[in-house]
Structure 1
Amino acid sequence: MTWLLGGVALLLAVFLPTLVRSVPISTPLVLLGVGVLFGLMPLPEGFSLDPAMHNTFLVHAAEATVLVALMGVGLALDRPLRLRHGSSWRAWAATWRLLGVAMPLCIAAVALLGWGMGIAAPTALLLGAALAPTDPVLASDVQVAGPETQEMGVGDEEIDESDEVRFALTSEAGLNDGLAFPFIYAAIAWTMEGAPSHWALKWIGWDLIGKVAIGAVAGALVGWVLGKLFFRLPHKQYRLADAGEPLAALAAIMAAYGLTEVVGGYGFLAVFVCGLVLRASERGHSYHAEMHSFIERLEQILTLLMLLLLGASATNGLLAHADWRSVVIALVLIFLIRPASGWISLAGRRDDTDRAVGLTSQERWVTAFFGVRGIGTVFYVAYATGKASFDGAEWLWSTVAVVMIASVVVHGIAVTPAMNWLERHRTNHRRALADA
């Protein structure tokens, strides 16, 4: 039976993206439904899907899924980030706003909401931090499709995304998984060491600033070295890019993550930065598309596993400790907190020229709404509950499951109509400008 279910699951991973392409639902939504059906089948005697009993597995499975997705996101982004050029920083303005304004607002709002409903303060902070990041795994339907690699001559314009919504959501998802980690550590410290006055200074200096800096530098260093090895070796026969071996992308993930974890930084951040730097090392080479295609397939398989487990667990006790507070948090986060914080962070006028940087009112609404919650949340909760004992841990697991399922359903149904509506608006806007 196990082999049969595994075979069916892999066939779904292969065929579902094509089958649902013309249907207004997302692949994750279908996979979640299939997982629910699997969960209704009889389980082997003595087997349990209780997350507390499989914490180590959940940590590593979710960790691997997010890492693969982060490398895919880094390789997919064509827009350059030149640290010494102000115009480049401005081109990423939506990203910085979502990270610097929307994410902290989401963390604070969810934590205060939970605390106001009687949840212990450390648990409420963990809930807010785990639910704040836009997921790089399940948000693929609203992200950039992949690297464009047309050959460019000297002096040609570098490739750039024209879809600000997809770029903003992709770059946000790539960075906020690593930047949510300090708040996970704050929740752990609050549980283990007591009041924030006992650990706040250390947390600010090391967890909030030090580890972020180490992660960014380590990821950039690994990406730069690998870029030289892949594209710039003096002898062409030794360049992996010319050999066309996409497995090197997996080696890049392991190298960036492993090095960063050894030196104490945030590995998630490092893997995304590594992908960005590697992408920038030879922007027009077709090898980027080959690596991204390999990573995308691997991500599909890992996502399949996680969504099937989520669906099966939902019908086998994962939701047993959910209550009215869980439903309120899910609805308020999806329909109020994320859209409002995203809208606030992106507020401002847009210069509607051919080289405009910014978002129209319609684009802001779509970007603000599609803060998909997913596999990263599983990792953070499993990681934190494995490090410290949180009050109401069973309720916490049930609540994040409710939020994830609600996010998959709501965003999965809304994504196709929303993106089609946005494209119609853009087409009408272009026609109006042409007729003016």
Structure 2
Amino acid sequence: MTVDVLLAAAGALALLAAAWSDWFRRLPISEPLLALAIGIVLGPAVLGAVDVPALLEDHAWLHTAARLLLAISVMSVALRYPFHTARGRTRPVLLLLAVVMPVMAVVTAGLAAWTLGVGLGVAALIGAALTPTDPVLASTVTTGEPAEQDLPGRDRQVLSLESGANDGLALALVLIALALAGPLTMGDALLETLWDVVGALLLGAFLGWLGGQALKAGADHGATDPGPELVFTIVLAFAVLGVGGLIHVDGIFAVFVCGLAFNAVSTGREREADVRIDEAVNRFVVLPLFLAFGAILPWSEWRSLGWAGLLFAVAVLFLRRPPIVYLLRRPLRLARPDAVHLGWFGPIGISALFYLTLEAERLSIDPVVLVAGSLVVAVSTLVHGLTATPGRVLYRKVAGPKGEAVDATRERTGSSSGGDG
């Protein structure tokens, strides 16, 4: 009964979003935020129409759902732009991954220790889980005609690619946090990190190349029907995720690398077909998860945190990312408006839920990790969902028109230079 109610509500919201897609994208509220709000109303806090296990009692299903959704989302990111365009954003993306991401983890851990009064191990676990920029929530800023018209292609590309890559690479930070919390030695954590990352690179590159070659061969010989071709990359993402789990490498990062490799070897026609279905799935499949998350929000545990919990969530949104990106605007080659916008829109969502529940599965963590982490995810969904449209409009007013309608056409057709200038 519970699942049926959630699916019916998600289906109704998806139908509305599909029927009035452009209008929805211009609303000062995101679809994940609407789904979260509906989940709260349907949950035990209001109507009690759904009865789902509490977050602290059973979170295995949430971890599995987040893992599958992230696989779809990072594949969508990897296919979103022509490969040469993505390659042209290597420098700023690497800077965000190598410098900004670790600093965000340290800042978030420090904020947790300061506001919540937790120890080093717990603070490290919270900081690592809340570090990655969420590709699902980020897509509300980077995709759609309004975003393409108002925001520079370079900014959207960098944010998209960062959110796709750091979801997997954040596992390294989580493993280090697990070492600080006790169950792993630092040596074991570093060895596991090395295998996770290198193994994911090799697995993703090989299966992405193999998938691209197989689809091209089928198309060349007329053996690939249009229907199966459209869902090929989703099936490929799940296959990579499964193989990654079997050989114990970072499956999410492997899927992202697989998408980039597939993008590099496939034709433009194949990429455009795949990116359409991947973007659609990424947009609508997320709704049931946010509905379910809204229904299991730990209200009583949040209240037990008191004002310290709210202070922590607000401090994370304002101090975890914006100051760091702004200070690095010159190496990132960002003008001030771009640095402010890119710094602010680094939302925390499904990826954080994935790592919070992963930490809970790896060891018996202090409940404050899940409680404080889920509070930050909910606040980020609310705040970034409400500020995405106004922020985009404000950016356009401050930075001026950029001719992004033309730039968006070039992105889709693959005719842009993809350079970093």
**TM-score normalised by L of structure 1:** 0.82
Q: Give the whole-Å Cα distance in 2 for the aligned partners of 1:370 and 1:331.
A: 14
Counterpart in 1 of 2:69? 65
1:168 paired with 2:164, answer no
Given residue 250 of structure 2, which amino acid in structure 1 is its aligned partner?
A: Y
Q: Give the whole-Å Cα distance in 1 for the aligned partners of 2:279 and 2:58.
A: 26
1:277 paired with 2:278, answer no
Contact 1:191 1:389 in 2 (8 A): no
Structure 1 residues 179-188 or 313-322, which shifts more? 313-322
Counterpart in 2 of 1:352? none
Q: Give the whole-Å Cα distance in 2 for the aligned partners of 1:308 and 1:243.
A: 29
Counterpart in 1 of 2:96? 98
Counterpart mapping for 1:123-162 below 5 A: 123-145=122-144
Counterpart mapping for 1:2-401 below 5 A: 2=2, 3-16=4-17, 18=21, 19-39=23-43, 40-42=46-48, 47-80=51-84, 88=87, 91-116=89-114, 117-145=116-144, 163-193=153-183, 199-204=185-190, 206-233=191-218, 236-239=221-224, 245-285=229-269, 287-314=270-297, 317=300, 319-348=302-331, 358-390=333-365, 392-393=366-367, 395-401=368-374
Given residue 361 of structure 2, which amino acid in structure 1 is its aligned partner?
A: G
Residue 319 of structure 1 deviates from its aligned partner by: 3.0
Residue 183 of structure 1 deviates from its aligned partner by: 1.7
Given residue 420 of structure 1, which amino acid in structure 2 is its aligned partner?
A: V
After superposition, the Cα gap between the structure-2 partners of 1:282 and 1:324, relative to the gap in structure 1 and judged at 3 Å, is same
Q: Give the whole-Å Cα distance in 2 for the aligned partners of 1:8 and 1:309.
A: 10
Contact 1:35 1:311 in 2 (8 A): yes
After superposition, the Cα gap between the structure-2 partners of 1:4 and 1:251, relative to the gap in structure 1 and judged at 3 Å, is closer
Contact 2:302 2:309 in 1 (8 A): no
**Cα RMSD, aligned residues only:** 2.6
After superposition, the Cα gap between the structure-2 partners of 1:317 and 1:425, relative to the gap in structure 1 and judged at 3 Å, is same
Q: Give the whole-Å Cα distance in 2 for the aligned partners of 1:382 and 1:238.
A: 42
Given residue 333 of structure 1, which amino acid in structure 2 is its aligned partner?
A: V
Q: Write the deviation string for residues 47-97 of structure 1: whole angstroms up to 9, x where unpaired.
A: 553113222111101111111111111111324279xxxxx56x3222111
Q: Give the whole-Å Cα distance in 2 for the aligned partners of 1:74 and 1:65.
A: 14
Q: Give the whole-Å Cα distance in 1 for the aligned partners of 2:290 and 2:217.
A: 40
Q: Write the deviation string for residues 344-390 of structure 1: whole angstroms up to 9, x where unpaired.
A: 333348xxxxxxxx322211110011110001111111111111012
Contact 1:229 1:239 in 2 (8 A): no
Contact 1:77 1:144 in 2 (8 A): no
Structure 1 residues 371-380 or 413-422, which shifts more? 413-422
Q: Write the deviation string for residues 298-329 of structure 1: whole angstroms up to 9, x where unpaired.
A: 33343111211222223764634433332122
Gaps of 5+ in 2: 146-150, 404-421
1:406 paired with 2:379, answer yes
**TM-score normalised by L of structure 2:** 0.85
Q: Give the whole-Å Cα distance in 1 for the aligned partners of 2:208 and 2:153.
A: 26
Q: Give the whole-Å Cα distance in 2 for the aligned partners of 1:138 and 1:104.
A: 21
Residue 187 of structure 1 deviates from its aligned partner by: 2.5
Contact 2:33 2:382 in 1 (8 A): yes
Q: Secondary structure at the match of 2:287?
A: helix
Q: Secondary structure at the match of 2:47?
A: coil
Given residue 176 of structure 1, which amino acid in structure 2 is its aligned partner?
A: N
Contact 1:49 1:318 in 2 (8 A): no
| Larger helix share, 1 or 2 | 2
Larger radius of gyration, structure 1 or 2?
1
Q: Give the whole-Å Cα distance in 1 for the aligned partners of 2:108 and 2:341.
A: 21
